[in-house]
Structure 1
């Protein structure tokens, strides 16, 4: 269970490294929020405009093919395809070019400002107006921009670059005068009487190709169906100008309806023209027949006809009527066949009195397919699969229509031959009837036929005229373009949220990467995890370069308190080790490698014990790199040390121990010191001499405590050679210096008992890492803290 608790995830411990660096998080967030503020300040806001229309196109199920698809359950698919076709037309470049040309969007005026450029729409609101000498077709294909710097009420500087990347050219000109430019001569006139108010500003005029601008608006305008099978379409546009966005959407709807009405008008006009031609021909024939009837009856004075002749004549008249109607129908069929053969894309007339109703239906369908094909070609090309399918359907329908007309012509011809034979038989029976009566009947019969056909065509012409005058728009406007007036871009909340996220992520990423690459020891927690069976006497704080490195009498500094804690912990541990009898007052101080602060720890440990009134001896046993004198140079001059050190004492039997030991008062604390002496060529051999035992035997008896500054344990074997003379070993590990893998060496020393009673001292620990995470420390300034000081203490 204890093992499970140790492995339990500690959120507070995980967040601790980040909380200590809270100032960087605050600074980073502040910087990104400032950047977000300037981005929002200098960004041009965009607004959204929406419009809603409903298509009023003819229901596909009303056509024969549509009805067939409806019966097969394919009607919804056809309706969906038709809706998609209309959406494609709305998004066509042709319609968009018409919108741009109507609104003059390719000519843009703006006023340069410090933060934002002021754009003008419509162009009549701009401070100046540009008139072009060249034709609109040339201007619509040109790209050119220039600036105007007003110098007076009548003059200005014309600034432009002949081509991209070239140096600007400045011309002085006057309002109303012609100016030569790469796109032709232009004339600039002011739109305001107070034009001099713009003297300190630049008026920017940008002329863009209509084709490029149309492509850009095609991408910007969103056109979607309200539902899968709904005829309602939603249109939306984001633009820096609410007025321009609404104008573009409304004009697009108007252009769509205009084009649709033009197409319907074209079909109705072609039908009316055909009927007018037929009416003119029949009207001439009918006038001639009326004249003939009048002349015949006046000249022959016809009054009565025998009943038998009347029957034959009446029967023959009916036959002749049928024969004339059949001939007329044959003419109609031949005319329609000629129309199909002469022009593929020409609409053919329908509902012109043919007896075969299927031909009329096929003619209607044929015209509708031609209309669909022309409308789709405006936004696509002939290789489009939809147009290819339409062409195939048109060809198939044309072939079927041609076949139907051929069959109808043969049928009519058979009926004509039959009626001719019948008429010949009747004529033979009434040969005795006066020719005058027969001729009268013929004339009257022809007159009736022409009159009935004339009336029929008049009725059809009226129908075509009504259709021409009442062409409905393809789209019914549900909602005109409108806007809420709230900017949709940039989104303030999202920009600031992104700034805060980036502000948090960047320092978090640096700290996280640094923690991944960090292999140093930082505080006692890092050591406790690796060296679980070793006592940790305490932590020594990190000192600034100007702080005193040696403790004083009655010192209340953090450094002094840390060594007092080490001294107290050492006493408790030493009491628990009753087996340490001989050399029980000898303390070795060592480390893993050089530079971990063992000499600094040795000197201050000796001074701390001396502060209790004990007699203490400090021995410099690091013969290879002695640092005792360096640690004490600020308080003791080098001349006050004995010229005889440990190396001289061990190498020369003539020297006595008392010759090498000198007494010193360091910060009012008494301390005896045996320095290392000169660096010998054979330090290991000197430490193995018999005099070393004599040394420790003597000092162990004469002093209350002996603190020995030894060499680093991993670098050389000196410390291990004399480790038997120490009852206790202080093992110094330096925070932010000692690598974590080096702890394995200390762990091995302890496991193999090569150093007696090892105890760890953590040196150079930052105040924020003191104790278990830095929340609790030693003596601190108890004065009144500022808000940030309290926040730092809380978060550290």
Structure 2
């Protein structure tokens, strides 16, 4: 015999993946997708409608190296101790630009800690620059910079305005210029311009925020990055609802950065110029004294010529004196540098070596000044506890110690050299003793005069160069583009938000449906039973029927009925006949038991309609209400019986042996179909014991011989044992399941019953199937009834 399950297995195995079947659960719920998309798009629209747009302002600057900039280094490039080779990394400069001090200064300069908002019904907008009022605080700026305060104002005339602290407070009429008491010392509000008519009746909220909070907010919002790798061009960006405000913030930040770099570069030049001025003042005094000595000497001694014989000796003596003076000069410079070094823990730039002969001291002083500059620059973006700053401090102390040792050694060496030169000078003087003393003194004075003049002229030249460098110093950056904006908002991004809303509108119902189907543990159609049962015949499906309140009989088939319900039972009848002919059953072949796993799966509904369908073919059919615990047949046929209380049912037949089978059989006309029925009767206290009576066999022996078909509505097989007690009288058992109600896990009980052969001729039926879930996409109904398909159904056919 060919089994319906084999056909199902073949279909499933030959089509493991069916795209239409996969997407069908989503297509049939298309309305939820459309509704979800419309809701998400509506939310996106209102979000965009009432969200303040933000604009992007961008500026570009290029960092300049010391070779490209002018300043002290350019003025003193011929002095080796002033030459500096700085290769500042772009990352370090970005760290300096992002210093919190810069942002605090920006907030103070632009007064960003005092913000005015125009209150609307839905939308609140910030007022920048063109504020109608000006606030004068009685407290000091240091207190205001740390104050958090807000209040509401509404200008009602050119001289008065309304004032309140909270939005719900009653307003107070205040005159412009009147002192308003506050917890931080009071304030005075004055109009910003004479004509205030355009600002009447506009409620305005003023917010005072601590400067540091605004500065930290700006620091988090400003973005600084390189144009590209290894580039000196830096982009500075910020987003803000007000374009002019964003531009002002970036331009002010660039200005503050340039001012800081200028001040840093001028420190060294100022210190050097100060040192040169001090040296010029001392040398000028010495030179003036030498000139006075020459005048007095020549006037008093009337000196006019040089002794020819002392020319060579005088020349040698002059060279010796020059060396001696240079050595003393170097010694004084070393003493000055030694005092300039100061304490070990002080870090101030020192004057560079002005012509010292020791290259080690010159190199160390240059390196010392370089590290001082590097330390000052890093302190802009990092604290004194920074590891790099600590390392620089250690290097500075080490260089300072080396400088002290080098200066000490040089001083000792110069002392020895000066002693030697003085001894040599004494020798020359002794040799020149024979030369007239006046001439010797005159030449000595002239020698000193020449040395002083040469050094004096050199320092004057360098002082002018230092003064010029102070005015010619350029910042460390060049502005390529001032802050600008395209004028189009960058936030919120309409395309992204609408795309996200569309995606969310599709994914939400998809996810809900997917999770719902994933967690669904119930059967829904014949295909679900095919997957659960591999060796049990499945007769078919009963479609879901929408019941009406006024015509409950519509749940029962009618004569000459072309409804979906009637067609489904005709198909089941045909399938049953096909299966029945393939079986060879000796006893009770015409007895059909209808049972299920649990209550509520539609056994009585199915039993009655099956009996009516078979009776409609002019067969003699008997329906037995075998569920004596919870009888339901009576509720279906009560409108067709006038004397329900006098009916003798199955319970009375089993209990009262005087009652014959014929006395329990009643004929009912239901929807023009005659049907014999044995109702359940009264509910007994011991139904299981009653069904074990020998009267049951007597009943089935009689009715199986008198009728073409006997349909028995029995109790749920898993809940009670009633059905199993009388199962031997069944030639065939129709096991009913209900779509969307019967759980797959409890079908293991049906498998067990079939495996243990506790129910004879077991067949399966799925009841209450949604027409959209019919197995293999089938549709019940009369073939002549053509359904008008909607456009959507035609598209997804």
- TM-score, with structure 2 as normaliser: 0.89
Q: 1:41 aligns with which of 43, 49, 61?
A: 49
Which 10-residue stretch deviates more, 549-558 or 651-660? Answer: 651-660
Work out whether 1:585 is the aligned partner of 2:586.
no
What residue is the counterpart of 1:405 in the other structure? 407
- Matching of residues 112-127 of structure 1 within 5 Å: 112-121=119-128, 123=129, 125-127=130-132
Deviations 1:385-431 (A, max 9, x none): 11111111111111112222222222222222121111111111111
3-state SS of 2:213 partner: helix
What residue is the counterpart of 2:3 in the other structure? none
Distance 1:373 1:747 in 2: 86
What residue is the counterpart of 1:340 in the other structure? 341
Work out whether 1:703 is the aligned partner of 2:703.
no
3-state SS of 1:23 partner: helix
C-alpha displacement of 1:148: 0.9
- Matching of residues 70-469 of structure 1 within 5 Å: 79=87, 82-121=89-128, 123=129, 125-160=130-165, 168=169, 170-191=171-192, 195-226=196-227, 229-341=230-342, 344-469=346-471
C-alpha displacement of 1:458: 0.8
Which 10-residue stretch deviates more, 505-514 or 737-746? Answer: 505-514
C-alpha displacement of 1:275: 1.0
C-alpha displacement of 1:311: 1.7
What residue is the counterpart of 1:68 in the other structure? none
3-state SS of 1:184 partner: coil
Distance 1:101 1:285 in 2: 52
What residue is the counterpart of 2:557 in the other structure? 551
Contact 1:642 1:661 in 2 (8 A): no
Aligned residue pairs total 770
| Pair 1:372–1:689, CA change in 2 (3 A) | closer
| Pair 1:333–1:686, CA change in 2 (3 A) | closer
| Pair 1:287–1:692, CA change in 2 (3 A) | closer
3-state SS of 2:349 partner: coil
Contact 1:771 1:777 in 2 (8 A): no
Distance 1:167 1:403 in 2: 76
Contact 1:729 1:759 in 2 (8 A): yes
CA RMSD of aligned residues (A): 3.1
- Matching of residues 522-533 of structure 1 within 5 Å: 522-533=524-535
What residue is the counterpart of 2:33 in the other structure? 25
3-state SS of 2:342 partner: helix
C-alpha displacement of 1:270: 1.8
| Pair 1:467–1:720, CA change in 2 (3 A) | same
3-state SS of 1:430 partner: helix
Deviations 1:586-640 (A, max 9, x none): 322222233221111111111112222222222222233322111212x313516
C-alpha displacement of 1:455: 0.6
Distance 1:421 1:557 in 2: 141
Q: 2:620 aligns with which of 610, 615, 627?
A: 615
What residue is the counterpart of 2:668 in the other structure? 664
Distance 1:203 1:472 in 2: 44
Work out whether 1:677 is the aligned partner of 2:685.
no
Contact 2:60 2:235 in 1 (8 A): yes
C-alpha displacement of 1:298: 4.0
Which 10-residue stretch deviates more, 620-629 or 492-501? Answer: 492-501
C-alpha displacement of 1:437: 1.2
Q: 1:491 aligns with which of 490, 493, 514?
A: 493
Distance 2:498 2:778 in 1: 33
Work out whether 1:776 is the aligned partner of 2:779.
yes
Distance 1:157 1:775 in 2: 76
**Which residues of structure 1 form unaligned runs of 5+?**
64-74
Which 10-residue stretch deviates more, 775-784 or 663-672? Answer: 775-784
Deviations 1:713-764 (A, max 9, x none): 3334443344344332222212222222232222233333333322222112
3-state SS of 2:490 partner: strand
| Pair 1:652–1:340, CA change in 2 (3 A) | closer
| Pair 1:533–1:187, CA change in 2 (3 A) | same
Deviations 1:175-197 (A, max 9, x none): 33333333334332334565344
